[in-house]
């Protein structure tokens, strides 16, 4: 199992570290455009191997895609992150060009790869990859819902005063401050509906805190977060590498599912060795349907800014 991670910055390095620590991949190649940066990050990470007990070989290269050849999974984290006060959508001008170039380079050397898109605005960057990379639709997966759901579970556990392992929940929809749809109605504590434990007002607060989860961290850190994003990507890579058939909400190209067409947006999917093995359709209430429709309109508006 060979994994390439493009962008050796905060998210890319965190993702490489978690993949290595979980010890399921033989090789991780980090790629960056900044001279020596990926090589440095790879060397630093390799010097944790004897301490953290992993055998994954991490190497770094500056822009040399021949070293990424025959990667099973490629992750794109290259591009600029947001600064406090910015929306993810504002990053499109710079990141669209980067994602288009990087995905073309990756596919040239790994024509059968599965691509995970992380760079923001993620749903639109995944759509761009669908339109330009030539890969089949099951092989392009946007990472957003896995992270947003982890943030949702954190907020639910906080509201309950319970350990996170007690709670389950999922966030679908667009990966944006307004577009996320945390499914509070379906969230549970040990299979008991969350509504048995939390008032409607408290659940609404959890929902709002989840939606601005990224912006809250950007304000505190001065840049966007990296530990949970890296962990979310590594869990998705592991599900594919180990053919786990695990369910995550991911940005997937829809062709009629959820009544939508020609859009990549967050829906529950099964991840396995073929990438997206199945899109899972769940019954939504009218309010949830309206919310996801609004969310899709936001994503389409950003998609409209792409020069395809
Ligand atoms: N989808 C999500 O849930 C999620 C979560 C967090 C961050 N992000 C996004 O991920 C991206 C990366 O965030 P970060 O915090 O790691 O940023 P960062 O600035 O720390 O790292 C980005 C790296 O990309 C590199 N890069 C830029 N252009 C490149 C190119 N053409 N080829 C190769 N490398 C290139 C830069 O040199 C830099 O090292 C941002 O767009 C951010 O918004 C997405």
Of 77, 94, 228, which is best to mutate to test ligand 1, by the most ligand atoms within 8 angstroms of its C-beta? 77
Cα separations in angstroms, 24 against 19, 136, 206: 7, 25, 34
Q: Is 96 buried (19+), middle (13-18) or exposed (0-12) by CB count in 10 A? A: buried
Ligand 1 site, residue 226, Cβ cutoff 6 A? yes
- Residue 197 Cα to ligand 1 middle (Å): 39
pLDDT of residue 267: 98
**Contact present, 262 and 271 (Cβ < 8 Å):** no
Other Cβ atoms less than 10 A from the Cβ of 91: the count is 23
Q: How confident is the model over 190-241, as pLDDT tens digits? A: 999 999 999 999 999 999 999 999 999 999 999 999 999 999 999 999 999 9
| 124 CA to centre of ligand 1 in angstroms | 15
**Ligand 1 pocket, 11 CB below 6 A?**
yes
Asked if 125 and 99 count as a contact pair (C-beta separation under 8 A), the reply is: yes
Predicted confidence at residue 250, as pLDDT, reads: 98
Q: Give the pLDDT score at 158.
A: 98
For a pocket test of ligand 1, which of 84, 120, 212 has the largest count of ligand atoms closer than 8 A to its C-beta? 120
- Residues of the chain short of pLDDT 50, as ranges, are none
pLDDT (0 to 100) of residue 308: 86
Ligand 1 center–CA 226 separation, angstroms? 10
Report the candidate in 227, 232, 239, 235 with the shortest Cα–Cα distance to residue 14. Answer: 227
Q: Ligand 1: does its nearest atom lie under 6 Å from the Cβ of 143?
A: yes
Active site residues: 175
């Amino acid at each position: 199992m060979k994994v390439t991670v493009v962008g050796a910055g905060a998210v890319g390095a965190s993702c490489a570290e978690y993949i290595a620590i979980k010890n399921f991949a033989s090789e991780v190649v980090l790629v960056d455009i900044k001279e020596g940066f990926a090589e440095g990050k790879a060397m630093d990470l390799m010097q944790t191997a004897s301490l953290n007990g992993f055998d994954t070989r991490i190497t770094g290269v500056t822009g040399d895609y021949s070293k990424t050849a025959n990667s099973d999974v490629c992750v794109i984290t290259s591009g600029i992150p947001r600064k406090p006060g910015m929306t993810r959508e504002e990053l499109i001008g710079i990141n669209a060009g980067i994602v288009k170039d990087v995905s073309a380079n990756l596919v040239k050397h790994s024509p059968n790869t599965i691509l995970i898109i992380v760079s923001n605005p993620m749903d639109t960057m995944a759509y761009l990859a669908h339109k330009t990379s030539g890969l089949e639709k099951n092989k392009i997966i946007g990472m957003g819902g896995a992270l947003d759901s982890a943030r949702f579970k954190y907020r639910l556990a906080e509201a309950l005063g319970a350990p996170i392992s007690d709670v389950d929940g999922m966030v679908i929809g667009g990966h944006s401050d307004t577009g996320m749809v945390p499914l509070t109605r379906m969230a549970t504590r040990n299979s008991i509906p969350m509504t048995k434990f939390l008032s409607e007002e408290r659940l609404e607060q959890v929902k709002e805190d989840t939606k601005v989860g990224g912006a809250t961290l950007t304000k505190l850190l001065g840049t966007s977060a990296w530990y949970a994003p890296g962990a979310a990507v590594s869990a998705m890579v592991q599900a594919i590498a180990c053919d786990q058939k695990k369910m995550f909400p991911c940005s997937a190209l829809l062709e009629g599912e959820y009544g939508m067409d020609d859009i990549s947006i967050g829906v529950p999917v099964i991840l396995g060795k073929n990438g997206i093995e199945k899109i899972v359709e769940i019954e939504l209430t009218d309010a949830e349907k309206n919310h996801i429709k609004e969310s899709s309109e936001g994503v389409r508006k950003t998609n409209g800014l792409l020069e395809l």
